[in-house]
Amino acid sequence: MSWRQRGRIQLQQLATEQPNLASSALDRMSSLGIARVINSEDAKVAKAVARVLPSIAQAIDWIAEAFRLGGRLIYVGTGTSGRIAALDAAECPPTFNTKPRMVQFIIAGGRRALGAAVESNEDSRQAGQREMARKAPAAKDVVVGLAASGRTPFTVAALAYARQRGARTVALTCNRNSPLERAADLAIVTDVGPEVIAGSTRLKAGTAQKMVLNMLSTGALTRLGYVHGNLMVNVRPKNSKLRERGVGIIQRLTGVSRRKAEKTLLEAGSTALALVMLQAGVDLATAQRALTAAGQRVGGAVKIAAQDQDRSI
């Protein structure tokens, strides 16, 4: 039996490739019927993610530790998985004001694959290893490989290379006992079952991947103080919406007037700095030093700044 034949048999055995009885008559359903069956199947995704929360928590701890050490979170995937990874990486800087190097992504086919299908690249183990080598993964990094099937050669090879180089590795897949799971230090297996359209893993599998990546990046950056309470205190006022959000956060946490919040935000250029200035009653330079000393944690920076203020009195 050739490797292509073995591959076809293995693919046919995957849970995500099986026909879904609930949608077997999808082509004969009304628009409302189609929406109902997809919605019903989507309701199963959150339950599948809930079953692997301990593994997700372990990954969050690893990523937070990597960030503390100056390391990176590197996602790698192909097709839908790669695009979901790119989305999460791209949204971290505007949400948390992280540096772009902190959360990165690799997608088979490069950036052109973000807007066009280039699936042939998925089969190349050499390409996966080569692209990961360009990132020079090290012990202080965490690499997350995404593949619904768990068998994509590009992603398996990339993850295996990162692990060989000492990085902590996480497999995110929707099928158990896969090559990707075996290549990783930790596996997060969201068993979402058959898709509404058999094998179309842009559906439930893609939704599960998005949910998990939301938890990984948000959880790790929250642990590091990029969130205060449940507010985006590190948001940068780069447009009118973000300025308005920053003013609202400042008013909510300090109780100052809108005029005072706007004035302080304009002076500080940062919602976090404005909060430290107002809550500790210090100038911009003192707030900047305190925020750096506190590792960008607003709560810790306020305490440091207030102590410095007391010593100077």
**Backbone CA torsion sign across 44, 48, 50, 56:** negative
Distance, in Å, from the CA atom of 269 to the CA atom of 298, rounded to the nearest integer, reads 15
Catalytic residues: 91, 122
Amino acid at 297: R
Distance, in Å, from the CA atom of 118 to the CA atom of 129, rounded to the nearest integer, reads 18
Distance, in Å, from the CA atom of 53 to the CA atom of 287, rounded to the nearest integer, reads 37
Letter string b/e over residues 251-290, b meaning 16 or more CB atoms within 10 A of that residue's CB: bebbebeeebbbebbeebebbbbbbbbbbbebebebbbbb
Distance, in Å, from the CA atom of 307 to the CA atom of 29, rounded to the nearest integer, reads 67
- Residue 139's Cβ-side half-sphere holds a number of Cα atoms within 13 Å equal to 0
Strand, coil or helix: what is 303?
A: helix
Q: H or E segment at 313? A: none
Tokens of 192: 């979402």
Distance, in Å, from the CA atom of 140 to the CA atom of 245, rounded to the nearest integer, reads 34
